[in-house]
Amino acid sequence: MSFIKFELNLETFIDELNQKLEINNNKITELLNIEKKTYANFVKPFEMMDEYLEHFFTPISHINAVNNSEQSQEVYASALPLITEYSTIISQNLDIYKAMKEILKNDTLNDEQKKVLEENVLHFELSGAHLDEEKKKRLQEIHLRKSTLSNDFSQNLLDATNAYEKVITNEKDVEGIPSSDLDPARYKEDGKTIYKFSLQMPSYIAYMTYGPTQSIREELYKAYTTRAPENALIIDEILKLKQEMSQLLGYETYSDYSLATKMAPNRDTVFNFIDELSENSFKQAQVELDELRAIAPSELKSFDSAYYSEILKKEKYDIDEEEYRIYFEQNSVVSGMFNFLEKLFGISVKKVDETLWDEKAFSYDVYVAGEQRARLYFDLEARKSKRGGAWMHNFQSHCIDEQGEEQLASAFVVCNFAPSTQTNPSLLRHDDVVTLFHEMGHALHHVLSTVNENSISGVNGVEWDAVEFPSQFLENFAYEKEVLKLFALHHETKEVIPEEMIDKLIRAKNFQGALQMLRQLEFASFDFRLHDGAFEGEEAVQKLLDAVRQKTSLIKPPEYNKFQNGFAHIFAGGYAAGYYSYKWAEVLSADAFFAIKDQGIFDTQLGRDYLNIILAKGGSQSMDILFKDLMGRAPQTNSLLRLSGIAS
């Protein structure tokens, strides 16, 4: 039950990868030569081969994201075609497909094993295993090209983000910016103090929220929304390849193909879902925007909204985000979060003494009822070599291997919080706390699984439009008074955050809730409609985005805004024709959250049931079934409107 040591040798990685792929191919030949194939002698070793390959490949993927260098880029770019070609060929192997179908039909199986085979059969069909050789060959070419393009899209975005820097020399241009944001930007050059702001999230958000000079806000905004223009050509090619792939597999559009593995049954359901939420949000969003316009001295522009929103928020709720940061020191937040999880689920942790990829990365072992269950790795601070944003990435999955031994799960939690220095701790915004809880929700979903089959354990096998449920569920608790008091301590005096500050934070929680809802629905609508038709060329993509914005964006963005070129979720991530999943899953999370809150949050029966049903069972059953097992009923959409402060 030991964990894999995190290690990576960039010099030898490609040679080792080629060796492992060759061994796997030979192993598959051996498996196919078995005369009487069963789950035990065929499916289990086949599944574990994939698990072990994941163990080997994850470190290069992880390092390329958190410690990006020319060498890591080169190795990762060289590895992608190899792993993609291997995966594509395996997924189209007709003999494996037939063997899976035969075992599903004839072998005696438990529920987990049956689900594994059903998922495998669907996966092989979505990969074209049943097609003729010419179509299979074309699908292989498409998958290989798509993986290269997605990596190029992501790398272009990272390079463009790192290439930009705004140098400010006039002190008036930084007046009002909190010291915790200003200190990292301050430099001495030729005896003079200057300030450098970048497109890295902590730096960019700081100036857009507090920067007093409109022209600089616009300059930063323009730099951010025009990043990586070369991605327009990549988008065009990706869309064409996805459409061709979908039609080869018998689907009219990529959206149809995407829904084959989601909870939502069809396209109309998704469109109706987005439209219903939009209609419920629009009237209140207009009121919220009118409030914002009323305090702006001139016409409100896209690059002004964050700045004047902060002013309005202070006026309405007497709340200053900066005042809260002194109570959210990173180490205190992490420690308090685990204290909360112990009260909610009965889990505990123990810090691990090990050397990782960065001196600020750290890890914990996770225990349930005193039994070791998992390991979590954390990398929480921003640095130039690190991809922006926040994410969870699974490493090992809980399962029983071919020898009957239990393998425990592990995962990475990655964020980009303000970096600590020798003299200053890492102080988080409350939004950062919410982000940490969100990614922790993903991580717990993966590592607390008790499923014995790796491909449906943890987040594996979970419908994509349900995978955000546990992360959104957990982030809701970051606004609860009892939870905040566990870790919101003044980083110097250790005093608990004052009651009135918590009350203000809770009151301000749904500030501009309808506007935020519409913004997410804009992304969801654009994504789904983009993959529900045949859009060719940058002009067609822009025209669609403009049409979507007519219904969802109450502030018209400037023409130079090319948001799509930075939409990594759908062009370099897994959310293509699935961005609606955030809101779809939020219905589940809001419903479950309110049910547990109404029971009292700590030490509730429903909290334990959530651990044993939603988290423990992973992808072994449809989330539709698991949710009904937990709640005793289907989800209710009015819970999401309630959570967002939108009157239904």
pLDDT digits (tens, 9 = 90+) for 147-162: 999 999 999 999 999 9
At residue 620, does pLDDT exceed 70?
Answer: yes
Q: Are 22 and 49 in contact (CB under 8 A)?
A: no
Mean pLDDT confidence for 353-361: 95
Q: Where are the alpha helices (DSSP H) in 356-468?
A: 430-447
For the chain, how many residues are written? 648
Where do the structural domains in the chain lie, given as residue ranges?
A: 13-91+93-130, 164-225, 330-511
- Close Cβ partners of 323 (under 8 Å, ≥ 6 residues apart): 501
CATH architecture of the domain with range 330-511 = Orthogonal Bundle (1.10)
Q: What value does the CA radius of gyration of the chain take, rounded to a whole number of Å?
A: 25
Mean pLDDT confidence for 360-385: 96
Which of 47, 322, 329, 439 is an active site residue?
Answer: 439
| Collapsed DSSP state (helix, strand, coil) of residue 590 | helix
Mean pLDDT confidence for 135-145: 94
| Collapsed DSSP state (helix, strand, coil) of residue 90 | helix
What percentage of the chain reaches a pLDDT higher than 70? 100
At 167-182, the pLDDT tens digits run 999 999 999 999 889 9
DSSP 218-278: HHHHHHHHT--TTHHHHHHHHHHHHHHHHHHTT-SSHHHHHHTTSSS-SHHHHHHHHHHHH
Query: Per-residue confidence at 648, pLDDT binned at 50, 70, 90?
Result: low
pLDDT at 520: 96
At residue 534, does pLDDT exceed 80?
Answer: no
Task: Classify domain 13-91+93-130 by CATH number.
Answer: 1.20.1050
**329 annotated active-site:** no
Distance CA(473)–CA(594), nearest Å, equals 10
The token duo for 511 is: 């500030």
pLDDT at 230: 97
Mean pLDDT confidence for 223-234: 97
